[in-house]
Copies of this chain bind each other. A is one copy, B any other.
Amino acid sequence: MRLTRAAEYAIRCMLYLSRQGQGVLTSRQEIAQQADIPTHFLAKIAQDLAKAGLIEIRQGARGGFILRKNPAAITLLEVVETMIGEISLNDCIARPAGCKVSYHCAVHRVWLDARDQLRNTLRQVNFEQLITDASCFLPSLHMPLEPKRLETIVSSRTDPQ
């Protein structure tokens, strides 16, 4: 498992869209600029996000991306695995055939457990929490969530460049 640049960018993109709010259209250029993502790279990433049903892509003049789900319903795990595939710490988890002994390997079991634990942790984090300052900490590991902050929906209308 490796958190690639593409995955990191995808998270930033989803963060930005979550701040805009569900259903708000934002141009690719604006997201790229605000979230510090190479525009062409973002285009490719968005295709994966769209394929996963997370965003809708509006083509043509005044096109852009639209968040399709409620931020609270989008987990960090979901976005990460959309970009890098199902998480597995050691290759032998993803492709057991790669190692001849995986069937009776004690270490294999450890990687499996650690993988599950990591995935569960990332599943507990949603984008509603992430756009709220107080949720910098994992609920289970730190403190309970504070009441959510009122989101400020920014108009999709942005001046060209």
Contacts and interface: CB of A to CB of B under 8 A. Distances in A.
Contacts of A11: 107
Q: How large is the interface on A (under 10, 10 to 19, 20 to 34, 35 or more residues)?
A: 35 or more
A2 interface: yes
A73 interface: no
Interface in A34-92: 36, 76, 89-92
Number of copies: 2
A89 B3 contact: yes
Contact of A3 (B91, B113, B142): B91
Interface in A99-150: 100-101, 104-111, 113-114, 117-118, 121-122, 125, 129-139, 141-142
Given A107-B136, A109-B137, A113-B121, 20 more contacts: A1-B1, A1-B3, A3-B90, A3-B91, A8-B90, A8-B91, A15-B107, A100-B139, A101-B135, A101-B138, A101-B139, A104-B134, A106-B132, A106-B134, A106-B135, A106-B136, A107-B130, A110-B122, A113-B138, A114-B118
